[in-house]
A and B are shown apart, each in its own frame.
Chain A
Amino acid sequence: MADVSLRKVVKRYDEVEAVRGIDLDIADHEFVVLVGPSGCGKSTTLRMIAGLEDISDGDIMIGGDVVNDVPPKDRDIAMVFQNYALYPHMTVAENMSFGLRLKNYPKAEIKSRVTEAARMLDITDLIDRKPKQLSGGQRQRVAMGRAIVRNPKVFLFDEPLSNLDAKLRVQMRIEIKKVHQKVRTTTVYVTHDQVEAMTLADRVVVMNHGRIEQIGTPNELYHKPATRFVASFIGSPAMNFVPCRLEDVGGKLNVRLTDRLAFALPPARAARYQSLSRTDRLLLGIRPEHVMEARPHAGPGVEPFDAVLDVTEPMGMETLVYFTLEGSQVCGRVSPNAGAQDGSPLRLAVDLNNMHLLNEVTGAVL
């Protein structure tokens, strides 16, 4: 077990910088998820930690030791690949014990470790099968078993669930979480799926264009995104952004969305945004769950307005409604009983206590 640190790590491929100087500290036992769109450098970062890619600049430390020039086999890490990468000519047991056999562990120890890992992953019955006789989920379990038996300092997961169907993915997600609760090994997990990131991580690292956009717990990222990218990447359906500006009306601060639509800010928000320029082009960021049907006795900061719905999506426990504001599509979540119908008007309310204000040019959350 060990902590992992990245110091100004850079990866260059010829002229292209895939990773542009990232700093990251991962504590012992921590489960950190690197998330971002494809090409954001998350996999490259993971492969640099593994030693499968050279580091162009900066330092990577595992357990306090700089490992820049340490070959993968001496870094004491284990990796689970997206396509499992099981050795096709070996049985499950042989696959899991390959690393231990290379290091000449005593046979009894190998056997007990494999048995223990197989029991933990519920693959004891499959131990003598070849990979081609296994389903996708079973193969992924074996791949995890191969990592567990090594008892390494760090687990590295490279999009391990991407090849599984949606239902199995949810199941394996829970499985991975359970395994981590048991073995408590420091884990770095790469995914493009923000739901996976949110559900698994102690801390999430959101990456974009080779840089870290924000590091935080899932809740921090969700409620206090630092940038427009994080705000739009985390959460599904994504946060709504509507162009707006601030104006003073009768000593109160208003946020004006359209000529006819403006909301008075609740006192806490008004105080926070008081110093902002009134001429700046801003974006109102609001999550779909904070755009709901108007209720008679709404609390302070919940402002009603009328909208004509373009599309509705009944999800069962709620209905997603889509309408247009100043050319921006906005998504709201209303009760299935709210009477939302395609093309019909509906009185909605926006909860400004949970709003965000962003600079339209820089994308920074203000």
Chain B
Amino acid sequence: MSTMTIDKSGPTRKVKYGSMSRDRTWALRWSYFFLILFAIFSLTPPLYMLITSLKSSAEISAATNPWWVYHPTLSNYIELLTSNQFLRFFWNSAWVSIIVVTITMLISVPAAFALARMKFWGSATLATGVFLTYLIPDSLLFIPLFKMFAVFGDWTGIQLVNRWYVLLFIYPTLTVPFCTWIMIGYFASIPKELDEAAIIDGASWFQTLTRIFIPVALPGLIAATIFAFTVSWAQFLYPLVFTTSTDQLVLPVGIITTLIKGDVFNWGQIMTGALLGAAPPLIIYAFLMDYYIAGLTAGATKG
């Protein structure tokens, strides 16, 4: 691109092209500016966590430059990773999340298929209802839910409160509606002729779901899986309310309740625990992002 764009005879064609690409350059500059701003904004807290996690308690309380580690140490990591309690939280979180994801998928995929494809009386209303359920905030639900499980325990003698597996009943109330909603959208975008072709080919509804819909809607399925995993891994309010014994806690609550003793904040370990806790979702995102983006529906119909 030449820098000399205007001569005395006025703008020429070349100038026009030049100015267009100049617009583009500016657009790029602005987008980079905001992208970098956004990256700084969202990456600063984790960076601060990383720095703090590498400091000893003494260095943290010594009020040195908070952005620099003078005596790096892995003691926080070693202490947490060798602590049975921390590993217990980790396992609890992992079990809860994996089982919740499984339960969610087993419920929401067939539900979405039914709501998207098997037109039955009230299916549209039901689909909207599913989404509205998701809009009710959990901070509004936890007291009645707690009461429900307490009463259930009184009546049946089966105590679910303060057991990690109570979360398996509670988290799906958050994940199932949303995942069903996502999957309805994905399934609805699959051309109707595709299931008609499958039905004529001799597939049952179940075979249509497992052999056509699930493979074709795989990006959506993965998006829903990521969502369900993230929600159950990061959920704080419900486990805080429903579990109290230290051996029943999941990671986010465990870190807060065991590493803050009275008014003493063990910042180094809190930061380390939070960083280690963020690792599994990160790894899963990294692996599934490609699938998430790839559009598998291309070529199904005339496209």
Binding site for B on A (CB under 8 A): 50-52, 71-73, 77-79, 81-89, 98-99, 102-103, 130-134, 136, 139, 146, 150, 163
Interface residue stretch chosen among B41-49, B197-205, B236-244: B197-205
**Contact B202–A87 (Cβ < 8 Å):** no
Contact of B193 with A132 in the complex, beta carbons under 8 Å: no
Contacting pair B302 A84 (CB below 8 A): yes
Q: Is the CB of B299 within 8 A of A131?
A: yes
Q: Please, which residues of chain A bring their CB within 8 A of the CB of B199?
A: 52, 71-73
Interchain pairs with CB closer than 8 A, number: 86
CA distance in complex: A89, B297 (Å)? 8
A51, B196: Cα distance in complex, Å: 10
Name A52's contact: one of B196, B203, B211 (CB within 8 Å): B196
Contact for B200 among A50, A84, A103, A136, CB less than 8 A: A50
A98 lies within 8 A of B198 (CB): yes
A85 & B201 in contact (Cβ 8 Å cutoff) = no
B123 CB-CB contact with A under 8 Å: no
Given the known interface contacts A99-B201, A102-B201, the answer about A85 and B296 at a Cβ–Cβ threshold of 8 Å is no
> B212 within 8 Å of A by Cβ?
yes
Contact partners of B299 in chain A: CB under 8 A: 86, 88, 130-134, 139
Query: Quick check: is B276 within 8 A (CB to CB) of the other chain?
Result: no
Interface pair A85/B203, CB less than 8 Å apart: no
Q: Which residues of A contact B58 (CB under 8 A)?
A: none
Closest to A134 in B: B299
A150 to B204, CA, bound (A): 17
Are B194 and A89 in contact, with the CB atoms below 8 A?
no
Within 8 A of A (CB), among B251-303: 296-303
How close is A95's CB to chain B, nearest CB, in angstroms? 9
B201 touches A132 (CB 8 A): no
The minimal Cβ–Cβ distance linking A78 to chain B, given in whole angstroms, is 7
A88 touches B300 (CB 8 A): yes
A81 touching B203, Cβ below 8 Å: no
Closest to A99 in B: B201
Most buried by B among A72, A85, A163: A85
- 10 example contacts (A-B, Cβ-Cβ < 8 A) are as follows A72-B199, A73-B200, A78-B200, A85-B196, A86-B300, A98-B201, A102-B207, A103-B202, A131-B300, A146-B197
Whole-angstrom CA separation of A25 from B135 in the bound complex = 56
- Residue of A50, A83, A102, A163 touching B203 (CB-CB under 8 A): A102
Please report the C-alpha to C-alpha distance between residue A87 and residue B216 in the assembled complex, in whole angstroms: 8
B195 closest partner in A (C-beta): A85
A-facing residues in B171-223 (Cβ within 8 Å): 191, 193-194, 196-204, 207, 211-212, 215-216, 218
